[in-house]
Chains A and B, each alone.
Chain A
Amino acid sequence: MAKASVTPSAEERLILTKKNRRWDEVRGRSLVTICAIIMIVATIAVTIFLAQKGLQSFTVNNINPIAYLTSTNWNPVGENASFGIFPFIFGSLAVTFLSALIAAPLGIGAAIFMSEIAPKFGKKFLQPVIELLVGIPSVVYGFIGLVVLVPLVRDNLPGIGFSLFAGVIVLTVMILPTVTTIATDAMRSLPNSLRQGSLALGATRWQTIRKVLIPAALPSLLTAIVLGMARAFGEALAVQMVIGNTRDLPGSIFDTSATLTTIVTLNIGHTTYGSIENNTLWSMGLILLIISFVFIFIVRYLSGRRKI
C-alpha cells in the first residue's frame, strides 16, 4: 500500500493522463456512436416492419394495389368487401395543403413582423406565446375544435359542422406556430449586411424585405412550410375530432370527410390482427410513411439550395 502511493514521476504522470484521456476518448466516442446506431436501426426497423405488414394486403389478401389507391369505395366488412382508400388519401392531402395555404402567409407574415418590424416585442412577447402554442397537446386543439369551432361552422356555414373545413382550421392553428418559429429563425439568420446593403442603396424597409430578404430566405421559408405540412399530414387525433370521419369523397369543403390517419386510428383497435381490414390499415400506414419520406426529401432538397 505504502509503495503504491508513492508520488509518480512526471513521466509516469504524463503516461497515466494520456492513458486516461485515450480511454475517455474511446468511451465518449462509443457512447455517441451507439446512440446514432440505435437511431438508425430504429428507423430502418420501423420502415421494414411497416413495409412488410403494409404489403400483406396485396401479397396475402390479393387486393389490387391500383384499385386500392384509386377506388372511392371503402366497405371493409361483409360479403362484397371493397377496399378503396382514395377518399382518405384525398382527405389527407386536402387538409394538408389547405391548412398550409392558410398557415404559410400568416406564419411568414408573423415571422417577418418578429424579425424585421418589432424584434424586441417579438422576442419578449410573441416568441414565448408561439412556443407555448407548439407545446399544447393535439387533443386539446381537437377538443376546442369540437366544442367551439364545429358549432360555429354548423350555425354559420353550410353542412353539419363536422367538415373538411373544420379540420383545415384546426390544423392551421396547430401548424401555424411551427411555420412561424422556423420562418422566424430563417429570417433572423440572414446577415445584417444584407439589410444594410439594401437600405444604403435607398430602399425602404418594405422594399428590403420584399426584394432582398424574402428571396434570400426563400429555401428556408419553404422548409418551414413543408415541415408544417408534414405535421399537418401526420396529425390524427385533432382532425378526427372535427372532420366527421365519413368514407365518401367530400363534395365541398363543408362536407364531412376522413384522412388516412383518422381512419387508421379509428379502426385499428377493433379489427382483428391479420384480418384483411387490419392489413389494409397497415397499408395506409405504409402510404403515410412514404408520403412523409417525400416531405423529408423536399426539405433536404431545399436546405441544399440555401443561398447564404
Chain B
Amino acid sequence: MQVAAAKETIFKINDLNLWYDDFHALKDVNLEALNNEIFAIIGPSGCGKSTFIKTLNLMINMEPGVRMTGEINYKEKNLLDSRVDLVDLRRKVGMIFQKGNPFPQSIYDNIVYGPKIHGIKKKSELDEIVETTLKDVALWDEVKDRLKTSAMGLSGGQQQRLCIARALATKPDVVLMDEPTSALDPISTLKIEELMTELKKKYCIVIVTHNMQQASRISDKTAFFLHGRVVETAETGKIFSNPEDKRTEDYISGRFG
C-alpha cells in the first residue's frame, strides 16, 4: 500500500565539510533522510557522528571555531547559505540529548516551554498539548496526577521521555536524537525504542547511536561514519547483513571501535 507513495525528503546533505579551527571533522558528507523513517548513524567515538547530527539544527554554531562548506538542505532550503531563522528551524527540528535534560521546573512547565516561546498562550490549548505529547511518549498514565510537581523527581528514563515530549510539543517535522539511550537501563531503553518506532509514523527521526543492536533493531537506513567520512550508507538490513565496505564489516562485527 505504502510502496508506491514516495516518502518526502526531509534532509539532503551535499558535500558537507566541517572544521573546528584547523581540525577537519566532517569530510564530504552526502546523505539523505526521508520522512517516516528512522535514520541511524553509527561509528566509533570521534568519527564525527555527534558533530554531524548537531549540524542539522545548527546547534553546532554554539561551538567555537566552527566553519562549514557544502549544503544542508532542510526541505529544499539550504541551512548554510541563506539567513535561516534559527527559532523557526529549531521549532521544526527537535533534538534529544544523551541524558534527559528537563528544566528544574514542573512537568507541565517543561512541556509548555516550547509552545509558549512560539506564541501559544491559551491555557486550554497548552493543556491539550501536554496531554497529547505525554500520551505520545507513553508517560501520561505515569505522571497525569503530578503534572505540577518538579520534573527532577522523575526517573532517568521518564526524564528522557519527558524531553521527547517537550520536543514534540513544538510540533516538529524531525526529531534528532544524540545517543538518547546511552545513559538508560535496558528497560527504559526498550521503551524509548518502542517509542521511536511509533514516532516515525509521524516524524523523520535521525538517531546517533553507539549501540549497533539498537541501530539494527529500529532503523530503516544506517550510515557508517569513520574519521569524518561516510563510509557506507544503505538500508539497515543490508548494512548489517551484507556491507559493501570492508571497514563497515569490521566495525559491525566488533573487530574495532
Contacts and interface: CB of A to CB of B under 8 A. Distances in A.
Do A and B share a complex?
A: yes
B222 interface: no
B111 to A, nearest CB: 10
A197 B97 contact: yes
A196 interface: yes
B94 A197 contact: no
Contacts of B114: 201-203
B113 A211 contact: yes
Contact of A193 (B89, B90, B97): B97
A194 interface: yes
Interface string B91-104: 10011010101111
A211 B150 CA distance: 15
B59 A307 contact: no
B88 interface: yes
Contact of B170 (A194, A201, A215): A201
Contacts of B104: 194, 215-216, 307-308
Given A193-B99, A216-B104, A203 B117 contact: yes
Interface in B33-60: 57, 59
B87 interface: yes
A191 B95 CA distance: 17
A203 to B, nearest CB: 5
B5 interface: no
Contacts of B88: 202
A201 B89 CA distance: 9
Contacts of A201: 90-91, 94, 113-114, 117, 166-167, 170
Interface residues of A, number: 19
Nearest to A307: B104
Given A211-B113, A307-B150, A202 B101 contact: no
Interface residues of B, number: 28
B149 interface: no
A207 B117 contact: yes
A193 B86 contact: no
B181 to A, nearest CB: 16
Contacts of B97: 193, 196-197, 200
B182 interface: no
A68 to B, nearest CB: 45
A216 B106 CA distance: 12
Contacts of A193: 97, 99, 101
B238 interface: no
Interface string A169-206: 00000000000000000000001011011111111100
A198 B103 contact: yes
A152 B199 CA distance: 68
Given A191-B101, A211-B113, A212-B103, A202 B91 contact: yes
A108 B183 CA distance: 34
Contacts of A196: 59, 62, 97, 101
A200 B95 CA distance: 6
B90 A202 contact: yes
26 contacts: A194-B103, A194-B104, A196-B101, A197-B101, A197-B103, A199-B59, A199-B62, A200-B97, A200-B167, A201-B90, A201-B91, A201-B94, A201-B117, A202-B86, A202-B90, A202-B114, A202-B118, A202-B170, A204-B87, A211-B113, A212-B113, A215-B104, A215-B105, A216-B103, A216-B104, A308-B152
Given A198-B113, A202-B86, A202-B89, 20 more contacts: A193-B97, A194-B103, A196-B59, A197-B103, A200-B59, A201-B90, A201-B94, A201-B113, A201-B167, A202-B91, A202-B114, A202-B170, A203-B87, A211-B113, A211-B117, A212-B103, A307-B104, A307-B150, A307-B152, A308-B152
**Cβ-closest 8 pairs across A and B:** A193-B101, A307-B104, A202-B90, A200-B95, A202-B91, A197-B101, A201-B114, A202-B87
